[in-house]
Amino acid sequence: MSYPSPFDPFDVVVIGGGPGGYVAAIRAVQLGLKTALIEGRGSLGGTCLNVGCIPSKALLHASERVAQAHHSFADWGIRLGKISVDLAQMMTKKDEVVEGLTSGIELLLAKNKVTYIQGWATLAGEGLVSVAGLDGKSSTVSARNIVIATGSQVTPLPGVEIDEKRILSSTGALSLEKVPNHLVIIGAGVIGLELGSVWQRLGARVTVVEFLNRICPGMDNEIARQFRRTLEGQGLTFRLGQRVVEAKTSGQKVKVTIEPSKGLADGAEAETLTADNLLVAIGRRPFTQALGLETVGIETDKRGTIPVDGGFLTSAPGIFAIGDVIDGPMLAHKAEKEGVAVAEIIAGKSASIDYGTVPGIVYTAPEVANIGFAEQDLKEAGVAYKVGKFPFKANSRARAMGETDGMVKVLAHKETGRILGAHILGKDAGTLIHEVGAIMEFGGSYDDLIHVIHGHPTLNEAVKEAAMAIDKRAIHV
C-alpha cells in the first residue's frame, strides 16, 4: 500500500469504517472534499456488518425458517419429512452475506474516490494522524478535519471472563459450531433476545438472566409485557430481578452463579445454573482507547464517551466525533445519519438530526419497533396525551399470513394531535414503524396518518386503525 504524503493534507480524515465512518467519507467526497478513511479491522462495515446486525439478521432469518418448518408449515398443507439443520452450511451462508457486503463497501469507497488506508489510527497532534498499517508500515496523515467514528465494544462484566469458547460475547454467539443444549444469557436487551431466539429455534434450551424486573429497558411497558409473554410462549425462560455473581468454566460446562439483584435474604443461598454456553449481552461501550485523545486534549467520561457540541465538534478544534463514541443510542442508522450530517457541517452546510424520530427495532419473530416516547415517559413528564391501539388479529393481511400476534399503539398529544410515539409488536414491525416516523419528522398528527389511503390488504392498515382508535374511530374492532 502506498501512503499519502503528510505534506499534502486531506480535507477530511475519517477514523473508522463502520456505518457512520464510511457514510461520512462518501458524503464528504460528494461535497467536493478530499477524503481518506482509516480502518484497522481489515474489513469495512464495523461491528454492525462484521459481527453484529447483519450476521445476526442472517441467522434470525434462517432460524425462523426452521421454526416455521417445525410449527406452521403443516397448517398450510405443506408436509415435510424429518427436518434437519446443517449448522455449518448455515454459518457459511451467513459469512457469504457478510463478505459480500463488506466488499461492496470497499467498491463504494473506490467508486467515490475515497482514499482507503488499512491500519490503526492514533491522533498525533493538531491535524495529524499516525497510522500503524496492517502491512507493518507506519505513516502520518495530515488533515484539516478529523472525524472519530470508531464505534463500540462489548461491555465486560466483573466476575465473568469471556473466552469465546464457553463464555461468549455476541461475536462468539454468532459462530458456534454446534447448538448448545442449554444456553444462559446475561441481559434481556435487544442482543440477548435476538440471539436467544436464534438458538432456541435451532433447538437450545435458553435461560435469560436479567438484573431488572422486566425485559428491554426503555421499551413501552405494555409492549414489553406482551413481548415477554410471546417469547415465553416460544420457549425462552426468564430469570428477572437476578444478577450474575460469577461464571466459571468446568470441563465442557459453565457454572453460572446468580442471586436476587437486591441481594440474598437471611439464610438464602445463591443459585447455580449449569449451561453449555454463557452469552454476556449487557450492552456495549465506546471504543475510544488507544486513540491518543489525550494528545489533543479530548477527555471522555468514565464509559469512554466523547463529549461533542450540536455540530459533533469535540473540545479539540477540527476534530469531530459521531456514532457509538458519542451520547445517544448505539444504532447503525443513527450513526449513518450523523455521518451525513457531520460531512455537511464540515462542508459549510447546515445539518441537524431529530433524535426523537430514531427508531428502535428488535428483530425477533414477531418483531418489535418503537419511535418517539413510550407511554410511561409521557406520564412521568406530565404530558397530556391520547392513545390508540389495534391488534393484528383484527387485520386481514395478518390473518391471511397466520401472523396475528401483537398490536400497534400510537400516542398523540391530547390537544394538538401531534404524534408523540408509536410502538409495534408484530410481523414486519421494523418496516411498519417508518410510516409513523415519516409523519413525525414533519410534525404531523394522527389525523395526517389516517388521511393517507392505505392499500388493502396490508399490515399497514393496522397502523392506520391504531391512529383511528385514538378517537374511537377504528372500524375493525
**202/291 same-domain check:** no
How many domains is the chain built from?
Answer: 3
3-class secondary-structure state, position 19: helix
DSSP letter string over 240-299?
ETEEEEEEEEETTEEEEEEEETT-PPTT---EEEEESEEEE-S-EEE--TTS-GGGGT--
pLDDT of residue 7: 57
**460/436 same-domain check:** yes
One-letter identity of residue 27: R
| Residue 15 confidence class, pLDDT cut points 50, 70, 90 | very high
Question: Over the stretch 149-186, which tens digit does the pLDDT of each residue have?
Answer: 999 999 999 999 999 999 999 999 999 999 999 999 99
One-letter identity of residue 112: N
Phi/psi for 360 (5° steps) reads -120, 140
In a domain, 72, yes or no: no
**317/420 same-domain check:** no
| Residue 2 confidence class, pLDDT cut points 50, 70, 90 | low
**32/141 same-domain check:** yes
Can you say whether the dihedral through the CA atoms of 24, 28, 33, 36 is positive or negative?
Answer: positive
In a domain, 21, yes or no: yes
In a domain, 71, yes or no: no
113-117: average pLDDT: 98
In a domain, 84, yes or no: no
**290/274 same-domain check:** no
- 250 has pLDDT over 90: yes
Last residue of a domain, one of 330, 353, 376: 353
**133/190 same-domain check:** no
Torsion of CA 15, 17, 19, 25, to 10 degrees: 70
Asked whether the bond before 6 is cis by omega within 30 degrees of 0, the reply is no
Share of the chain above pLDDT 70, in %: 98
In a domain, 381, yes or no: yes
Last residue of a domain, one of 353, 376, 405: 353
Give the domain range for residue 445: 359-469
Q: Count of CB atoms within 10 A of residue 304's CB?
A: 18
Share of the chain above pLDDT 90, in %: 96
Check 61, 413, 434, 456 and give the catalytic one: 456
**208/234 same-domain check:** yes
CA nearest to 35, candidates 343, 319, 323: 343
Residue 216 buriedness (CB in 10 A; 0-12 / 13-18 / 19+): buried
pLDDT of residue 333: 98
| Residue 6 confidence class, pLDDT cut points 50, 70, 90 | low
In a domain, 86, yes or no: no
How far is the C-alpha of 1 from the C-alpha of 5, rounded, in Å? 13
Question: Over the stretch 132-147, which tens digit does the pLDDT of each residue have?
Answer: 999 999 999 999 999 9
**29/42 same-domain check:** yes
pLDDT of residue 265: 74
**325/375 same-domain check:** no
| Residue 115 confidence class, pLDDT cut points 50, 70, 90 | very high
How far is the C-alpha of 306 from the C-alpha of 314, rounded, in Å? 7
Contacts of 181 (CB under 8 A, 6+ apart): 204, 205, 276
State the CATH number of the domain containing residue 380.
Answer: 3.30.390.30
How far is the C-alpha of 129 from the C-alpha of 146, rounded, in Å? 9
Question: Over the stretch 35-82, which tens digit does the pLDDT of each residue have?
Answer: 999 999 999 999 999 999 999 999 999 999 999 999 999 999 999 999
For 170-199, b/e burial (b = at least 16 CB within 10 A) is: bbbbbebeebbebbbbbbbbbbbbbbbbbb
| Residue 3 confidence class, pLDDT cut points 50, 70, 90 | low
Q: Are 402 and 451 in contact (CB under 8 A)?
A: no
| Residue 114 confidence class, pLDDT cut points 50, 70, 90 | very high
**342/363 same-domain check:** no
Could you confirm whether 454 is annotated as catalytic? Answer: no
Question: Over the stretch 320-358, which tens digit does the pLDDT of each residue have?
Answer: 999 999 999 999 999 999 999 999 999 999 999 999 999
The average confidence (pLDDT) of the chain is 97
| Residue 267 confidence class, pLDDT cut points 50, 70, 90 | confident
In a domain, 4, yes or no: no
What is the maximum span of the chain, computed from C-alpha positions, in angstroms? 71
Strand partners, 128: 125, 142
Question: Over the stretch 420-430, which tens digit does the pLDDT of each residue have?
Answer: 999 999 999 99
Contacts of 323 (CB under 8 A, 6+ apart): 16, 18, 19, 20, 21, 149, 150, 151, 330, 334, 335, 338, 339
Q: Are 357 and 372 in contact (CB under 8 A)?
A: yes
Tell me the three cell numbers of residue 97: 452475506
| Residue 236 confidence class, pLDDT cut points 50, 70, 90 | very high
State the CATH number of the domain containing residue 222.
Answer: 3.50.50.60
3-class secondary-structure state, position 317: coil
**276/289 same-domain check:** no
**193/251 same-domain check:** yes
Last residue of a domain, one of 309, 328, 353: 353
pLDDT of residue 439: 98
In a domain, 58, yes or no: no
402-407: average pLDDT: 98
116-143: average pLDDT: 97
